[in-house]
A and B are shown apart, each in its own frame.
Chain A
Amino acid sequence: MKGNLNILKSKFIMIFLAILLVCMGLMASLFFVQGDTIVYSQEQMEELIGPAAESVFAVGLYDDIRIADAEKGIFLVRSVSTGENYEPGFRLVNEKGETLYESLGTRVIDRAGKNFTLKYGDGVLFLNTERTLETGEPPKPYDSVQLSSDYVLLRKDGTAQVHDLDGNLLYSSHAHIKLSGKAGYVIEEDIDGFYHIVNMNTGETEYTAPEGIVIMGYSGGMWLLDSHNEFEDIDIIWSYGYLLDDEYNITADSGIISGWNLGGESSADYMSVQQELAVNYENRQEIGKNGRKRIRVYSHGNLVYDAVPETRYEGTNGSHIRYIKGDILATSGYNETIIDYIDLTTGETVIADSEIFSFMDLEDGIAAACICNKNQNTDSRSGSFLTNENKMKDYSWGFVDEELNPLTGFTFDGAYPTENGYAVIVKDGCKGLIRLKGVS
């Protein structure tokens, strides 16, 4: 038959089929490689972490590890996504790896203490590990969840509820609300776009921000407000902020703020801001060449306020506030990799000129820390590393004592703050859990 054709005799088709088979083989090998092959052995772990620590979960044993309760030794883990027996989803395990509760969400979105928000389908799960383990009550699904150290904001079907950590309902609203950072207060946005500060105990609105001004949150004893559309006649959109005290008066020395850090990974007792010298509208503009008004910015440097509010630290122009943990501030000068550690309660420099950046979580005498690698042009070490694992990889990580003396080698690709001696480490893109010896 004329239509018959032996395509397998064609050189090009054979090459194409060969490439296709290789691609399929590569994809298959990528996903079917047994998890066991990438799990570090006991010897490899000992070599990696040294004598000052011991391995709890070897690198590669789990795809993701979070410390759920450091005192009781309970962890939230997700299995490695390779191998025949892969089951997606987190589970709670003890130090021996025994499953205490399973079938949780699929990705950790947020954590505050023993509470987690996990991705689950189109929504999220709120997991109170203590309650779930005690009562066996499964975590409930919500549209979204916001966690803080004191409250949980649960949103479902257009209703937002604020609970305390014991599960007691404190406030409920159909408006769009968010936790403020101040005990007893939430920030509410109405349908007209106005922001309000609402007292949860009385249900009363205590302050309404002017049109176009967004209430960002509360930290260091002050409210931070942000705007980027007040100066409509200026052709540059420039976000600026200002501060309010507890009486909702603009603090006299707050000036114009162009950058800030509101709690988050840093301490909620302090607020670090970058302040501009110009303090009013007239000083912040000039007529440009085209007759348009342009903003002239006088950078004043970084400031740290505490809960009084009182200026606790004032840096120079361009100085870098890297992290605040407890009362310790890690800071460095413009474009410098040398870090000073300052006690914000006394203003004294406790450690000067260190090449080591530490999270200074020294409650148990140890801290995760990192150093720059050789030939590193930029130094972006900051508290944001805790939420961005990709940034960690550019540095070498280890653990130090409170005087920044190394406890382990700087052999890890990433490390998270220690909790009761436990620490999650990253090596070759996989996570492991170690326990620093001598800490209980």
Chain B
Amino acid sequence: MKENNLDKCIRVNFKMVDNEIAAASCMSLFVVFCIMTLWLSVLAIVPLIVTFVYLFKMYKKLFYTSVYGETAVTYQSMPASAAEMTAAKIFVAGIGNIICVVTYIVVIAAFLFFLGGSSVSGLIANIQKIVTDLSADGGIAAYTLVLAMVALIASTFMQSALIFLAVVAYQSVVREEKKGLYRFLIITGAYVINQLLGRSGTLLEKLGIDSLIIPAVIGIVLSIVVMVVCYRKTVKLLEEKYEWG
């Protein structure tokens, strides 16, 4: 398959933050190891903080430094549209987050693999046991896990889009004298939207909708809608500011 402009943007952005993603993933690995080793569990807070620091650095490089910071001129001289660059940044940020989560899952799967006698059937049996217990104790049907996985991925990309929009909106609309107020409003707005989406299941439960599938589906749809809205708004703001594309 031939590489188009979007692919090139993704490649460039990924190159930009590959060290941060690798470092955050390694630190995630240490978090799981610390938690699994009982006497080290208290120390898990240290690699956890380092993970967040590297994720923050990743976001900063992707959404600020390469758009408004010292490397902005280099990246904006690329023959790519604002839409392509925005999509690539949101995609890479989302993938960076997902890689950290996958690290957790791989370590836990490896643990279950060895627990199950180092066999795939043992691994599957252990996973099925966990799912059975979840199903039985918490009333969680096994297939909702697939929906939960999609919801998690969708919300990850949505969060990236939301953060990018917040950064771009702040840089675009803020006037010097009201910087503090705008910063407060944008951060609070992004946090509230994220929390509302993350807790849609709880809200639905309070409204009397007792279902495990509906909140997951609504969560996926809302995440995609918010992501698209954020993406379009971000592109518009970038085009207005730089007369991009």
Contact = CB atoms under 8 A, between A and B. Distances in A.
A, B in one complex: yes
Interface of A: 2-5, 7, 9-14, 16, 20, 23-24, 27-28, 30-32, 63, 78, 81-82, 86, 88-89, 106-107, 119, 121, 390, 393-394, 428-430
B81 A2 contact: yes
Which A-B residue pairs are the 10 nearest by beta carbons?
A106-B136, A429-B125, A88-B136, A81-B132, A31-B142, A393-B117, A10-B6, A3-B235, A5-B83, A11-B1
B221 interface: no
Contacts of B131: 31, 81
Contact of B145 (A14, A31, A106, A121): A31
B87 A390 contact: no
Contacts of A3: 82-83, 231-232, 235-236, 239
B143 A12 contact: no
B87 A7 contact: yes
B245 A2 contact: yes
Contact of A2 (B82, B128, B135): B82
A403 B47 CA distance: 57
Given A5-B81, A428-B121, 4 more contacts: A2-B83, A12-B11, A390-B115, A390-B116
A94 B138 CA distance: 29
Contacts of A7: 6, 87
Interface string B1-17: 11110110011000000
Contacts, number: 102
Interface of B: 1-4, 6-7, 10-11, 81-84, 87, 91, 95, 115-117, 121-122, 124-125, 127-128, 131-133, 135-137, 142-143, 145-146, 149-150, 153, 231-232, 235-236, 239, 245
Contacts of A82: 128, 142
Contacts of A5: 6, 81, 83-84, 87
A105 to B, nearest CB: 8
A107 B137 CA distance: 9
**Which of A10, A23, A106 has the largest count of B CB atoms less than 10 A from its CB?**
A10
Contact of A9 (B4, B81, B245): B4
Contact of A121 (B2, B137, B142, B231): B137
A24 B146 contact: yes
Given A3-B235, A11-B3, A27-B146, A119 B137 contact: yes
Contact of A24 (B82, B116, B150): B150
B136 A393 contact: no
A31 B147 CA distance: 13
Nearest to A10: B6
Nearest to A390: B115
A381 to B, nearest CB: 16
B124 A30 contact: yes
Nearest to A90: B136
A63 B132 contact: yes
A81 B143 contact: no
A24 B149 contact: yes
Contacts of A393: 116-117, 122
B220 to A, nearest CB: 12
B129 to A, nearest CB: 8
B235 A2 contact: yes
Given A7-B6, A24-B146, A88 B235 contact: no
B222 to A, nearest CB: 19
Contacts of B11: 12
26 contacts: A2-B235, A2-B239, A3-B231, A3-B235, A4-B83, A11-B2, A12-B7, A12-B10, A12-B11, A13-B6, A13-B91, A16-B91, A16-B95, A23-B149, A27-B146, A81-B135, A82-B128, A86-B135, A107-B133, A107-B137, A119-B137, A390-B116, A393-B117, A393-B122, A429-B116, A429-B124
A390 B115 CA distance: 7
Contacts of A11: 1-4, 7
Nearest to A25: B146
A274 to B, nearest CB: 25
A32 B141 CA distance: 11
Contacts of A428: 121
Contacts of B82: 2-3
B143 A31 contact: yes
A23 B102 CA distance: 12
Contacts of B125: 429-430
B91 A28 contact: no
A261 B133 CA distance: 30
Contacts of A119: 136-137
Contacts of B83: 2-5
Contact of A88 (B84, B132, B231): B132
A428 B124 CA distance: 11
